[in-house]
Amino acid sequence: MPSGVLGDRNVFPDLPGSHLELKCPSLEFIKAVCKVLSLDPTIAGQVHKLKRDLLKLVSVGEFSEAAIFKDPCLSFVLPEVICSKCSSCRDLDLCRDPYLDQGPPPCWLCAHCQTPYDRSTIEGRLISKLQERNLGFALQDLVCTKCNGVKSSNMADYCSCAGSFATLEHSSDYQQLLDILENIAKHFKLTLLGELVSWTRKNTKE
């Protein structure tokens, strides 16, 4: 590998689903290859030894946090997207789909006829999904962290088992959705979606 590339974070692709701060291409290559090889249980021992030896070459401990493989690209699938030209229907991964027209502005393409999908239609569906998720997050039930029972009394501070209450959906999951939609809006120049995400962040209380 050419000198200077081993520590150059600019070699990593900037995708809508990117969510990790990747710094070392050689380390990420080692983790990705070993993760794929580990899918075969018959060579688990050899893969473990290989990964340990390769991590030594890049001065990373076998049990360190940096040695753990994490998917570098999140996924957001929009179901049943229909092509306006050939009427083919497929589930479209907005973060990972390989059929892209880089634009400007960038756009997703039909896998069969390479016709660009209607950006305004996709943006409208994403806005509707975010609005539905906002409503669901605001109206969700509270559950007991001890017995998992749903809170039935509005005035009770604690469950009958003395456990405290928490929201059914974790705030971190909700914030991750906002991060993905924000990245999609920036990457594909979806202005209305970006404004709705910004407004949601501003008005959402942790």
Q: Please determine, for residue 176, whether its predicted confidence score (pLDDT) is greater than 90.
A: no
pLDDT score of 9: 53
DSSP codes of every residue in 23-88? --HHHHHHHHHHHHHTTSGGGHHHHHHHHHHHHHHTT--TTSGGGS---SB---EEEEEE-TTT--
pLDDT digits (tens, 9 = 90+) for 187-206: 899 999 999 999 998 887 55
Cα gap 31→53, rounded to integer Å: 12
Q: What is the pLDDT of residues 12-58, one digit of tens each?
A: 777 787 877 888 888 889 998 999 999 998 998 998 999 999 999 88
Q: What is the pLDDT of residues 133-159, one digit of tens each?
A: 888 888 888 888 888 888 877 778 888
Percent share of the chain, pLDDT over 90: 33
Q: Tell whether the model's pLDDT for residue 2 goes beyond 60.
A: no
Model pTM?
0.72
| Residue 6 confidence class, pLDDT cut points 50, 70, 90 | very low
Measured CA angle at 12 (ends 11, 13), to 5 deg: 115
3-state secondary structure 56-73: HHCCCCCCCHHHCCCCCE
pLDDT exceeds cutoff 90 at 181: yes
